[in-house]
Chain A
Amino acid sequence: MNYVKLFAKRASLFQLSELYIRNNVAMMALFRHRHLIISRTMASDSVTRFDFLVIGGGSGGLAGARRAAELGATAAVIESHKLGGTCVNVGCVPKKVMWNTAVHAEFLHDHADYGFQGGSVQFSWPSIKNKRDAYISRLNQIYRNNLDKAKIETILGNAVFTDDPEPTVEVNGKKYTAPHILISTGGRPIVLSDKEVPGASLGITSDGFFELESLPKRTVVVGAGYIAVELAGILSTLGSATSILIRQGVVLRNFDSLISSNCTKELQNSGIELWKNTQVKSVSKTEKGLEVTVVTRDQEEEEEAKISTIREVDCLLWAIGREANTDGLNLKKLGVKQDEKGNIVVDEFQNTSRQGIYAVGDVCGKALLTPVAIAAGRKLAHRLFEGKAESKVDYSNIPTVVFSHPPIGTVGLTEEEAIEKRGKENVKTYTTSFSPMYHALTTRKTQCVMKLVCVGKEEKVVGLHMQGIGCDEMLQGFAVAVKMGATKADFDGTIAIHPTSSEELVTMR
C-alpha cells in the first residue's frame, strides 16, 4: 500500500473540493475526507483504511467499487479467485458462448433446407474451450485494468472478518478497514454430500461444466431450474446424449405455466430424455463410466417407486440450486444476520443487520442476476458517496432470459401470481403460438409462444412471457415499457416491425 501516493491523491481532491464544490453533499464529503486524513495519520500501521472496502470482485462488487471511486471514494476490492465473479468466469458469459456454439449446430442442421451444400461437419470441443478460456482471461485482465485505472486497490486472497471492535477484514495476514464494507461474495452451486446421495461427488456442477475438456458422450443433468435447462440444452444440441432428471412433472416451475410446459415440451422435442418425478438414489463408478441409480415415483398417482439405472454416463451434472458464499467470512461474530439458507439478510437499501456493512448480489439470495447486482452496487455507491439517501434498486419487473433452445424471455408477474395478487376476475391474458418465419424453410421446427398478463380495467400489462427464436433480444425494450406501466392499448397502438417475431406482441387479440 503506497501511502504517499494516496496522500497525494487526497491532497489534490482536497484542493479541488475547496475550489469548486458548493453544495452540501459535497461539503459533507469534504469533512469526511478531512476526518479520514486525521484518522489515517493516527491509525496503526497494521490496518489499511479505505472509504469503501468491497469483498468479492464479481459483477456487483466491481460495479459498486468503480462507482464509489468515480464519486471520489478510495476503494479496494478483495477477490479470492478471479476478477469478474460468477458471470464472467463460470456463468453468463461462458454459458452464452456455449449457447452460441450450440445455436451454430442448429444452423448447420438447417443449412440444407436453406439451399446450402457442403460436407459433413464435426465439432471440436477443445477448440471452443480454448477460445472461451482465452476470452475470459482477457476479460479478467480488462477488469483488472479497469480497477487500476480507477485507482482501486485489488487485494487477492480470502477475506475474514476479525474480532476487532471496528469491522475489520484480514487478508493474507494484513488488516483492512473502512466505514463502509460491502459483501458481494456471490454464490456457488449446491453440492450434495455422499451421505445424502452415495457417490454424489462423482458428479460435477456448472462450475465443472466449464472445465470439461471434451464433449461428454452421455450426460445426465439433475435439476429443473434454468441452469439445468440451459446446460442440458447446450450439451444435447452439441451432440451429447442427454437425460434430464426432474423431481416433478415440468421444468422451470417458478415460471409462468405456459413457459414451463412449453419449455418441457421443447426439451423433449430437441431429443433430450426427460425423467419426470425422478431423483438420484446413488451413483457408482464402473469401467465404462458412471452408473446413476434413480428412483421414479409419481406422487399424485401414488404409484410404487420404480428404481432404474442409467449406465455408461460420462458426465453427471448437478444443477439443483445455488447457495450463498459466506463460509469463512466469520459473519456470525460480526452480527450480520443470515437466513436459514445462509443468505445475508438485507433491507431494500442493501443494509445488513450490522451498521456499515452492506451486501449485494447473489449472496443475498434474491434475483440472482448480474445486472441486478450491478445496479445494486451502483445504487449503494450513490447512496453512500453522493448523499442520495433514496438510492436503491427496484426489484419489481426485472427482465430475465433463459438461454434454452429456443430462448425464454420473461418480465413481471406470472399469470398465477397476478391472479393471486389481483383476483381472477381482474386478470386477463392474451396468448399466441406460432411457428417463426425462420422455420418456414426448415424441417426442424420450434414453436414461439407468448403471453401477456394484464390486470384491471385499463389492462395494464404486468407480465410478459415468451419462448421462441429471438426472444432473448426481444425482451429488453418490452421490459422498459412494462416498467413504465404500458397497457394493452399501448401495445395495440404500437406499429409492428415486419417481418419479425416480436411484432406478434403488439398485434395480439
Chain B
Amino acid sequence: MTPEGSFHSNNMAAFCKGRSRFKRVLLQQTLIRNLSGKFDYDLVVIGGGSGGLACSKEAAQFGKKVAVLDYVEPSPKGTKWGLGGTCVNVGCIPKKLMHQSALLGTAVKDARKYGWNIPTPVSLDWATMAEAVQNHVRSLNWGHRVQLQDKKVQYLNVKGSLVDEHTIRGVSKAGKETIMTAENIVIATGMRPKFPADVPGAAEHGISSDDLFWLKESPGKTLVVGASYVALECAGFLTGVGLDTTVMVRSIALRGFDQQMAGLVTDYMDSYGTKFSWNCIPKKVEKLASGALQVTWDDAGPRGENRETFDSVLWAIGRAAETGMLNLEKIGVALQKESGKIILADNEASTVPNIYAIGDIGKDRPELTPVAIKAGKLLARRLFGASRELMNYDNIATTVFTPLEYGCVGLSEEEAERRHGKDGIEVYHAFYKPLEFIVAERDASQCYIKVVCLREGDQPILGLHFTGPNAGEVTQGFALGFQCGATYRHLLETVGIHPTCAEEIIKLNITKRSGLDATVTGC
C-alpha cells in the first residue's frame, strides 16, 4: 500500500465506520509504518498561518510529501475566517489597511491646508471600508490555497491534534476524523486573543481583534482595554476613522518597548483624539436595555469606581497559546506552565525530537509574522535540504502602526543602560519636523529619533528608534545596517536623501548627555 493509498483508505474507513474503527485503523497504521518504515507524509504542519504555510511550501520545494492542517475555531462572538492565520485574517493585513484608511482621514484635514477645497465634511462609511478590507482578505485566502496547490502541498481543513509522535488526528467541521502519519510534525497554531476571567460580561459582551476586522457595521463608541501594540493600533485607527475611542490602561503602554518612545506614541494619540484612562482596571460589563454596554472600572486615582457606556468593548489584553487541544503533553511535548507555549531548542525542536514548533506558539519567540515565516523556511531547509542554518532571533526590527508610526530595531534605551551602564552608552537624538507636517500645520512634537550606541570607538549601534510617517518603510533599511553591525560613524558617513524624514537619522548629532536642544532647525 502506498502512503497515499493508506491515507485515502483511512479517510474512507473513518468516514464509513466512525469512531469505533479509529483504534483498529490506528493499529494498522502503526503496523504498516513499522513494517515499511514509511509514513503518509514527510511533514505534517498543524496550522496554516504565516509560519506553517511558509514551512510547508518550502518543504514541498524539496520534493517532499507535505500536508498542512488548518482549522479556525470561531471566536466567542462566532467570527471565523479562511486560510492564512492571524496575519492575513485578523492581524497585520486588515490592521494595516484600516490604519491606511485612518491615515487618509488625516490626509483630508491636511489636504485642506495644501490648497484643496473640500466643501462638505468627509466621513467614513465603516461598511464600505470593512467590505473592501474583507474582500481583500478573502482574495488572500484564495491566493494561499492556490499557492499550496501549485506547490503540491495537501491542504486539509481539519482540526489537528496528536495521537503519538508520528500520528495526527484531524477532525473536520462535520466531525469527520482523519488519521495520518508523518515523519516530522510542525506545530504552528499561533495564538488567540485573551478575555479576562475575572470580569463578568467581558467575553459575553466584548469583542477582540478576532472580531473587529470582520464587523459589518461600525463598532461605534469603543472602549479598548489594554495598551499592547494591538490595543494601540486598533484604538488608533478607530479614532482615525472618526469613532469616539477610549483606551483603558492598567499600568504602562507598549511594555517591552522603549518607554520614552511609548510615551511619544500615546501622547500623539492623545492629541489625535484618542482618550486614555490610565491606571484603571475594568470590573464588569453589562448590557443595558438600550443595547449599550455599561462598563464599570476601578480607577487607581482618587476617582475610584467609575462607569460609562460604550457601543463596543474591545479586549486587547494579550494573547494566549491554544495548545490544550493538541494533546501535546500526553505524548511528551513539554509546555511552559503559565503560558502554555511549547519549549523549544535552537533548532525549533520540542522535547519530542521529530516534533517542532514555529511562530507565536514557541516559548520566548517574538510574535511576528516575518519571524515565523523565516523560522518556518529555515526549519524546512534543515529538515529536507541539508541546511544547518539556524534562525537568528536577534536584531529583529518591528513597527507599530499607530497613528504616528513607531519603528525600532535593537535595544530600548532602558535595556541598553541596564546592560552597559549609563556611562557606557551614548544616545543621539532629535526632534524633527516632517516637511509633510509644515504646510499642514500639524504638531510634530512627537516626531523623534533616537539612536542608542555604545560609547566607545566608532560607537556601535545598540538600538534605533523612530516615530514619524512611514516608520515601517524607514526602519527596514536601518535594520539591515544594524544586522551588518552599523556604528554611529557609518550613519555619519552616509549621504542624506533630501528632503525626507529618514535623512534625519543620518543627520543626528546631539547627544542626550550634552543636554542641548535636540530640535532640528533648517535643512
Contacts and interface: CB of A to CB of B under 8 A. Distances in A.
Interface in B369-417: 369-371, 373-374, 392, 395-399, 407
A243 interface: no
A491 B523 contact: no
A479 B369 contact: no
A496 B503 CA distance: 21
Contacts of B475: 477, 497, 502
B490 interface: yes
Given A371-B498, A371-B503, A497 B370 contact: yes
Contact of A483 (B130, B494, B522): B494
B125 interface: yes
Interface string A359-389: 0000000000111101100000000000000
The DSSP consensus for interface residues of chain B is helix
B104 A114 contact: yes
B74 to A, nearest CB: 25
A395 B284 CA distance: 65
Interface in A479-502: 479-481, 483-486, 490-491, 493-502
B399 A500 contact: yes
Contacts of A441: 97, 100-101, 129, 132-133, 136
B113 interface: yes
A119 interface: yes
B132 A113 contact: yes
A117 interface: yes
A277 interface: no
Contact of A135 (B368, B439, B485): B439
Contacts of A500: 399, 472-473, 476
A97 interface: yes
Given A484-B484, A495-B396, A107 B107 contact: yes
B331 interface: no
Interface stretch (A187-195, A205-213, A322-330, A397-405): A397-405
Interface stretch (B35-43, B114-122, B169-177, B263-271): B114-122
A478 B480 contact: yes
B32 interface: no
Contact of A438 (B100, B477, B501, B506): B100
A321 to B, nearest CB: 20
B114 A101 contact: yes
B137 to A, nearest CB: 9
Contact of A498 (B87, B110, B132, B480): B87
Contact of B436 (A100, A375, A503): A100
Contacts of A495: 368, 370-371, 374, 395-397, 479
B336 interface: no
B297 interface: no
Contacts of B162: none
B521 A142 contact: yes
Nearest to A469: B473
A83 to B, nearest CB: 10
B476 A118 contact: no
Contacts of A505: 476-477, 480
A480 B104 contact: no
Interface residues of A, number: 90
Contacts of B124: 114-117
A471 B477 CA distance: 11
Nearest to B140: A440
A131 interface: yes
Given A114-B100, A490-B483, A502-B477, A470 B470 contact: yes
B477 A498 contact: no
Contact of B490 (A127, A139, A480): A480
Contacts of B438: 97, 135
A146 interface: yes
B316 interface: no
Interface string B225-254: 000000000000000010000000000000
B497 A475 contact: yes
Contact of A476 (B93, B129, B503): B503
B495 interface: yes
Nearest to B470: A473
B157 to A, nearest CB: 25
B78 interface: no
B108 interface: yes
Contacts of B395: 494-495
A265 to B, nearest CB: 22
Interface in B118-173: 118-130, 132-133, 136
Interface size classification for chain B: 35 or more
A104 interface: yes
Contacts of B93: 437, 499
A111 B128 CA distance: 11
Nearest to A476: B502
A477 B117 contact: no
A479 B494 CA distance: 7
A172 to B, nearest CB: 26
B116 A108 contact: yes
A476 B370 contact: no
A474 interface: yes
A474 B480 contact: no
Contacts of A129: 115
A106 to B, nearest CB: 10
Nearest to B93: A499
Interface in A112-151: 113-129, 131-132, 135, 139, 142-143, 146
Contacts of B368: 495, 498
B443 to A, nearest CB: 16
A152 to B, nearest CB: 14
A230 interface: no
Contacts of A108: 107-108, 111, 116, 118
A29 interface: no
Given A100-B436, A117-B122, A480 B481 contact: yes
Interface in B431-462: 435-436, 438-439
B117 A122 contact: yes
Nearest to A400: B497
Contacts of A127: 115
Contact of B495 (A473, A479, A491, A499): A479
Nearest to A130: B115
Contacts of B92: 498-499
A96 B439 CA distance: 11
B474 interface: yes
B500 A401 contact: yes
B304 interface: no
Interface string B307-330: 000000000000000000000000
A87 interface: yes
Contact of B497 (A100, A371, A506): A371
Interchain residue pairs A-B with the least CB separation, the first 6: A477-B477, A115-B129, A118-B122, A128-B115, A476-B502, A477-B478
Given A97-B438, A105-B116, A116-B101, 5 more contacts: A115-B128, A128-B115, A397-B494, A494-B476, A497-B407
9 contacts: A101-B115, A126-B115, A131-B114, A371-B498, A441-B97, A474-B473, A483-B493, A484-B484, A499-B92
Interface of A: 59, 84, 87-88, 92-93, 96-97, 100-101, 104-105, 107-108, 110-111, 113-129, 131-132, 135, 139, 142-143, 146, 369-372, 374-375, 393-394, 397-401, 409, 437-438, 440-441, 470-481, 483-486, 490-491, 493-503, 505-507
